[in-house]
Amino acid sequence: MAHGHADHELHSDDEALAAIEHHHAHMLERVTALAEAIVAAVEAGDVGTAHDEKANLVEWCENDLIPHAVAEEGPLYGGAGRTDKGHLLVEGMLQDHQAIIGLVEELRAAEGARAAALGFAIARAFQLHLRKENGLLFPYIAAHPDLSLAESVRGLEEIVGS
């Protein structure tokens, strides 16, 4: 896992939560645009462009989405996963990651309408997942007296953005 260069100096858990939410929003915008581009190409009957846009989405998943998930599975999920109340929630988040990565694997082999459908499935699954992280897991970590959201994401550009 590559660590980011930028030190964001996130001093509080509130700042960390805001940075994560901002990065999630940016990622959602990107994955949605990439999925829309496949749909548009398929609707236009442009097989070549549909193939290229599918490749763009696969590349983004490899370079951004999967490294984001892997980075979260380090200290961030790890700390909450060792708490009584957090461990089932973390288990659910890990299952989401596996499901989303499974969709990316399906997308690699897909073309045309199937690729468009899988692209949208990835975007929507990511949206559901980040809502649970933003609204449940990360506020839980921020509020927990033994956990630090800011510490858990320090230097992780894949989670807080650059």
User: Which of 38, 42, 60, 72 touches Fe ion by CB under 5 A?
Assistant: 72
| Binding range to Fe ion, per CB under 5 A, among 30-38, 42-50, 71-79, 139-147 | 71-79
Query: Token pair 């990360």 is at which residue?
Result: 138
From the number of C-beta atoms within 10 Å of its C-beta (0-12, 13-18, 19+), residue 70 rates as middle
| Contact call for residue 157 and Fe ion (CB under 5 A) | no
114 vs 132, which CB is nearer to Fe ion?
132
How far apart CA 24 and CA 139 sit, in angstroms, is 15
Distance of closest approach, residue 130 Cβ to Fe ion, in angstroms: 5
How far apart CA 44 and CA 109 sit, in angstroms, is 21
Inter-residue contact 90 to 129 (CB < 8 Å): no
Q: Going residue by residue from 129 to 148, which x/- string records binding to Fe ion, judged by CB under 5 A? A: ----x---------------
Alpha carbon 153 to its chain centroid, in Å, reads 14
Distance of closest approach, residue 82 Cβ to Fe ion, in angstroms: 17
Q: How many residues does the chain have?
A: 162
Q: Which residue is nearest to Fe ion (CB)?
A: 72
13 vs 133, which CB is nearer to Fe ion?
133
| Binding range to Fe ion, per CB under 5 A, among 28-36, 48-56, 98-106, 128-136 | 128-136
133 vs 157, which CB is nearer to Fe ion?
133
Which residues lie below 8 Å from residue 41, measured CB to CB, with a gap of 6+? Answer: 49, 50, 52, 53
Distance of closest approach, residue 142 Cβ to Fe ion, in angstroms: 15
Binding site for Fe ion (CB under 5 A): 72, 133
